[in-house]
Amino acid sequence: MKILNDLTIRFENNIWSNSPQLAVIDVIIESNPQLIKIIAEDVTKNLKNNKFGRKDNPTVEQIFRLAIYKEIKKLTYEELEFHQFDSKTCKEFVKLDGRKSFSDSILQEYISKIRYENLEQIMIFINKIAFRLDYENGETIRIDSTKSETNIHYPTNNSLTYDCIKTASNIIKKLYKEHSVSWNRLEIRRKKAKKINYELNNIKIKGVKKEKMKAKRKEKMKLLFVDYLALLKEIHNEVKEALETDISSLSKSNQNSLKDLIRQIDIVYKISYKFQIDGEKVETKDKIFSIYEEHTDIISKGIRETVFGHKINLATGKSNLFLYCKVEEGNPSDKLLFEEPLIKIEENYKDVKKATKSTATDGGYATIDNKDFAISKGIVNIVFTKIVGSLKSVAESTEIENKLKKWRAGIEGCISNLKRGLNLGRVTWKGLDMFNSKVFWSVIAYNIRVLTGHILKDMKIKL
């Protein structure tokens, strides 16, 4: 195909032969200008006169290329700025053409404007190229889920209380010349709370005495929390008073944070009081795990480590490309995440894929309803690993069933590559939309890597 011929020519240049992933996506972009149109509206939003921005700003294509380069190389925005100056490969790929490199702030401003819904369309577009090159056909699908952390500290009532007080005080003090009285009182309470917390978690007395000492420390902590929450209430009132004054001197983001803090402080106060003072349990749905990343969910499964972040449902085909990706809301059971990948893959790739004949998942997806759904879709091999009870996998033969079970295990390696190889274990981008965007950027970079491997194998080139 044309893409293979173009790559053969590209690889005659050492710049591209040493960076085959960039060479592949460069050829794809050159051959498919409609790819850039997918994100053009996002990038040019609020820009006047020129749909590609001012003359001193990057074009839409350059923004897309820079974002791809950043993800493939696993760079920060500061490092990306430096690569434009230092790397010949980066200059060639981004098409700087002797222009001055773009600053990290400009890059972040434009790349962050690209919505994850459009990134999903780019993922599908690139995958369709793999279908047309016959690296993928959609006949066999495997599904699995993983967890990705948001960029927060471990949430406790004590830390959330302090976050509220600290954030409110930091914003409010910008309105006044001196720190509020509450800020100075906070430091005294914070130091005492830290000391009691340390004593509570590091008691060295054994046996019954230890339990008595622990109970005593808990009572001290309870008494301390009465004062701590009283201080939070004062801060709450101070925030309300601040909102009634002129807050125009604050930045727009600080104004919004101050307004949102009233609601957040109220939630944290009620949760902390109910648990720390009244000793009652709080339902997960009523909790808040971070005032900075409020969208954070708590993800727990059996004896595995609890993660504060989001659950991501993924599906691959025989090519190891991720054909489906979705950041789920809350902590839904895997049993509820079986149908949508099959439906979406059929919808998104119906013009290039063959009928799905086989599916393979772990036991978490195994239910009679899911098996019946797959049968209704014409799937003949439906394999669940590690299932219990009377539910059985459906397969044309035992040999096919065993092969699908072994093949399903391969998605674990794909997910590990995605999380550890492309920094998706912990997402540092702020906000739910940006969390989604980071997930899809990582999936796109991973798929480019996998597609490159298939192409090089087809070309019988080792680079």
The better pLDDT of the pair 440, 281 is held by 440
Better-predicted residue by pLDDT, 84 or 235:
84
Residue 52 has pLDDT above 70, yes or no: no
Alpha-carbon distance of 23 to 72, in angstroms, equals: 12
- Given a cut of 50, is residue 161 above it in pLDDT? yes
pLDDT over threshold 60, residue 463: no
Query: Using CA atoms, how far apart are residues 170 and 183, in angstroms rounded to an integer?
Result: 9
Rounded to whole angstroms, the Cα distance separating 38 from 126 reads: 12
> What is the reported pLDDT for 367?
93
For tokens 């009244």, name the residue.
Answer: 278
Range scoring the smallest mean pLDDT among 58-67, 231-240, 375-384, 397-406: 231-240
Q: What is the mean pLDDT of residues 235-243?
A: 81
In this prediction, residue 117 carries a pLDDT of 97
CB atoms within 10 A of CB 68: 22
pLDDT tens digit sequence for 204-233 = 655 556 677 777 777 777 877 887 788 888
Quick check: 197 pLDDT over 70? no
pLDDT confidence bin for 104, thresholds 50/70/90:
very high
Q: Work out the pLDDT band at 316, boundaries 50, 70, 90.
A: very high
Beta bridge partners of 360: 142, 383
For a pLDDT cut of 70, what percent of the chain falls above it? 90
443-459 pLDDT, tens digit each:
999 999 999 999 998 88
> What's the pLDDT band for 182 if we cut at 50, 70, 90?
low
Rounded CA separation 409/397 (Å) = 19
The CA distance from 103 to 16, in Å, is 25
In this predicted structure, the answer to whether residue 176 has a pLDDT above a threshold of 80 is: no
Residue 53 pLDDT > 50, yes or no? no
Mean pLDDT, to the nearest integer, of 230-242? 82
Least confident of 113-117, 156-160, 371-375, 445-449: 156-160
Per the CB < 8 A criterion, the answer to whether 306 and 299 are in contact is: yes
> Which range has the worst mean pLDDT, 84-88, 194-198, 398-402?
194-198
Q: What is the mean pLDDT of the chain?
A: 87
pLDDT of residue 209: 66
Give the tens place of pLDDT for each residue, 336-386.
999 999 999 999 999 999 999 999 999 999 999 999 999 999 999 999 998
Q: How many CB atoms lie within 10 A of CB 243?
A: 13
For the residues 403-432, what does the mean pLDDT come to?
Answer: 94
Query: Would you say residue 332 has pLDDT above 50?
Result: yes
Point out the least confidently predicted range of 38-52, 117-131, 229-243: 38-52
Q: How far is CA 40 from CA 64, 113, 155, 205, in A?
A: 9, 10, 39, 65
Average pLDDT over residues 60-79: 95
Rounded CA separation 425/309 (Å): 10
C-alpha 153/C-alpha 142 separation (Å) is 33
- The fraction of the chain above a pLDDT of 90, given in percent, is 59
364 Cβ contact list (under 8 Å, min separation 6): 145, 301, 333, 334, 335
Q: What is the pTM of this model?
A: 0.90
pLDDT category at 10 given cuts 50, 70, 90 is: confident
Q: How far apart are CA 259 and CA 271, in angstroms?
A: 20
- For the chain, the structural domain boundaries read 2-111, 123-152+298-431, 157-286
Residue 70 has pLDDT above 80, yes or no: yes
- The model's confidence at residue 433, banded by pLDDT at 50, 70 and 90, is very high
Q: Which residues of 404-420 are buried (b: 16+ CB within 10 A; e: fewer)?
A: bbebbeebeebbeebbe
Please tell me the predicted confidence (pLDDT) of residue 206: 59
The pLDDT of residue 225 is 80
Phi-psi region for residue 97, left (φ > 0), alpha (ψ -120 to 50) or beta? left
Q: Which CATH number fits domain 123-152+298-431: 3.30.420, 3.30.310, 3.90.1200, 1.10.260?
A: 3.30.420
